[in-house]
Structure 1
């Protein structure tokens, strides 16, 4: 075989297969239509090789349409979250790389799909019911709300005008997109348009997403998205602005919350605003930006109204007002309101929630641990009176919530760091030590000298809030993640010490079985570092390989051959 042909064949072995790049961004695109006789039907799934379970199909069909009495004439966009069926394949390899470098709240979730819905309802006398009702739904692993709302808008409008071939064309465009890599600016072609944005990384600013620059794109001029994921917190919380600190506590401690709104657009934006108001802490309980009585988890979440699970549900159907009136925390939103006049709804006891005549507001039994920060509320109200841009209001509120969350988490991070053994106690010849256990009482004792009062002016029962937080899934997930990180750090330090050690001296006087055990341990750690489980530097890996060769050389020749091949 000629050299050139061999090279082409080798390149072919590593070629990206059709739809590999597509799956980094989208799982599939669905078109759902309403049929007068049989109800919602899945008209199209593209790419055609994608297989959805019957449960996933049913959930998509019902979630693709507004579930309310508001009519929703014209076009409506909203966001849903669907639990995937068991047994499905995990994330695409490129998404694994993305997850290792992105902010924790923007990770691709192998257990759920995010659905971006574009619904159109218009009068049509040619249809038996008199209305054209159809939705385009984009399924993705990524919570890129801003980006995929834009993509859904472009794709749906093209589909309604030109038909199925436009869906196919759009999907082939997406299949050309480079994988999402945190920190990178991307230019994404879509149906003759260029979407330009930046993929956030762990060190990205959380309060002021920057517009992409230094990225030269040929005509047409790109549409620049300042953020792939951001929603306007101020717009969502404006109707309940005076209760934003109470809502922060409810979300922080993963309390069950119902959001009742007149449209799926309003409730899905509010639910996503809630789960992201504790960033950079990850909200770890379940949440459904839009939830219907037909959802496959309906019974799971409503069976015990007196002891509901940790979940945030966004609903529009008035049926829920009766079914879930015993839930401990309910946010009732009215019709879309002007941002010029933040509402001052009083806090109401949850028992006061009646069926259909409830006024907008927050209904709860909860008593806040912390006092409100009246300064930020006054500043935002004054901003609306001065007609300050909504984007500026959003930045002010997001920064305040970020600083509040950081004030709460910094003492925990500091205490967690204190559980790590001293580096001088790490031996190259022994297994890496493990972190000391987390002791809530020991942590509470540190608050007097290093508590949140050092960085936050908010007063109140911080200790009580921490103790409640310790009982939540948000704490469990944070602690498990930090414990894993600290454990990896200790293993890395132990291996660095081992790479610097003189194993030729250590091996003297050791039994053969001890030497073999050390060889196998080092080989295993090197393999772990290759799969990025252990963050070892290239220098450390090279030194470990040298130490490995050193001690293998001390063994009998027949054993050497076995160990080199194992």
Structure 2
């Protein structure tokens, strides 16, 4: 067993292996030790899976009221996992109690609830979290031979302190229409006594494809903001990534929108507009921007390696040459610290370049730079 490190990505295999492990297959990094039975978790809300997916995508505050910590935790984790491969960037508490330090913050009515999914079991929360916009009340999760009774969407005003029936208490109106074919397929699976893990796989694939249909246009657009490789020259700072303009992105949807990969109809534009205001968009954009910046850095290092450094140095002053040494050193450190996507060979060549440049300088400067 190998504990994953910070640089490992869920669902991927680590690149580096120890010598004694070379004969073994590369270990797979699991996002979680516990693989959720998604179908069992979502059984009572299958017909509302579209709504729940949208609420999670938009990072809406949700309370899950359950009869036990197990059900509460499983439902919260199922909800947070339904956006894969998009990372859920909001907070979530699978089991929240009145003793938690944020209790006051979450129950106060003087400010809007935070972007978080909270799982609770204490009936006391029905009253204290009544002001939250979305409350999912579920009963015990039981597997049966038939589709369990589906909870209804109800108005928040109907959330009573005592004897609150299972349901989704919200005034949220979905942007997209329900996918009736998914429900039919799952129903058929129940009738044919299909194993729960197969049903879960169907459900997971549906959610995955839905998320991908939503995210692919964003990925295409953000990729177009990357400067062209020919614009990257060795002796100038790499060009800037162009800013993400929401309206420009919206214009691309007519020809390259989710409709190309998803049959679901609805107000996709409205969904994107709401998504732009969510922490999930912010998290996705920051991550992509960071990756693109690192890619630019890597391409710049490669451009430096391919340049004729001796020719560049001919008409340069000592100040300019020393400045280049310091900048290249800084780039090397950054490349190693940030694990930039650069070949080790490239980094070694940059190191040799630095030595070559220092070697061309007067001895006193060489001494200073070697000790710097």
Normalising TM by the smaller chain, what interval?
over 0.9
Work out which structure has the larger RCO, using CA pairs closer than 8 Å and 6 or more positions apart in sequence.
Answer: 2
Alpha carbons 2:40, 2:142 under 8 Å: kept: no
Question: 1:312 deviation in Å?
Answer: 0.5
Q: 1:331 maps to what in 2?
A: 136
Gaps of 5+ in 2: 18-24
Alpha carbons 1:259, 1:313 under 8 Å: kept: yes
Alpha carbons 1:290, 1:314 under 8 Å: kept: yes
Question: 1:456 deviation in Å?
Answer: 0.6
What's the TM-score once normalised by structure 2's chain length?
0.92
Alpha carbons 2:38, 2:200 under 8 Å: kept: yes
Distance 2:206 2:235 in 1: 48
Alpha carbons 1:260, 1:330 under 8 Å: kept: yes
Distance 1:335 1:564 in 2: 69
**Alpha carbons of structure 1 residues 182 and 304: separation in structure 2 relative to 1, 3 Å:** farther
**Alpha carbons of structure 1 residues 443 and 501: separation in structure 2 relative to 1, 3 Å:** same
Question: 1:267 deviation in Å?
Answer: 0.7
Q: 2:8 maps to what in 1?
A: 101
Question: 1:200 deviation in Å?
Answer: 3.5
Q: 1:81 maps to what in 2?
A: none
Which of 57, 62, 78 is the aligned partner of 1:252? 57
Distance 2:283 2:295 in 1: 18
Q: Deviations over 1:192-240 (max 9, x none)?
A: xxxxx99544xx8x9xxxxxxxxxxxxxxxxxxxx73320111111011
Distance 2:104 2:62 in 1: 16
Q: 2:20 maps to what in 1?
A: none
Distance 1:516 1:463 in 2: 52
Question: 1:545 deviation in Å?
Answer: 1.9
Q: 2:313 maps to what in 1?
A: 507
Q: 1:491 maps to what in 2?
A: 297
Distance 2:167 2:111 in 1: 21
SS at match of 2:149: coil
What's the TM-score once normalised by structure 1's chain length?
0.61
Structure with bigger helix share is: 2
**Alpha carbons of structure 1 residues 537 and 307: separation in structure 2 relative to 1, 3 Å:** same
Q: 2:341 maps to what in 1?
A: 535
Mapping 1:211-290, distance limit 5 Å? 228-290=33-95
Q: Deviations over 1:481-501 (max 9, x none)?
A: 110100000011011000110
Mapping 1:107-186, distance limit 5 Å? none
Alpha carbons 2:40, 2:141 under 8 Å: kept: no
Question: 1:294 deviation in Å?
Answer: 1.1
Alpha carbons 1:260, 1:314 under 8 Å: kept: yes
Q: Deviations over 1:78-132 (max 9, x none)?
A: xxxxxxxxxxxxxxxxx5xx2222229x9xxxxxxxxxxxxxxxxxxxxxxxxxx
* Residue 246 of structure 2 is aligned to residue 440 of structure 1: yes
Distance 2:131 2:28 in 1: 40
Structure with bigger strand share is: 1
Q: 1:465 maps to what in 2?
A: 271
Distance 2:257 2:366 in 1: 56
Q: 2:22 maps to what in 1?
A: none
SS at match of 2:238: coil
Alpha carbons 1:411, 1:450 under 8 Å: kept: yes
Distance 2:265 2:26 in 1: 38
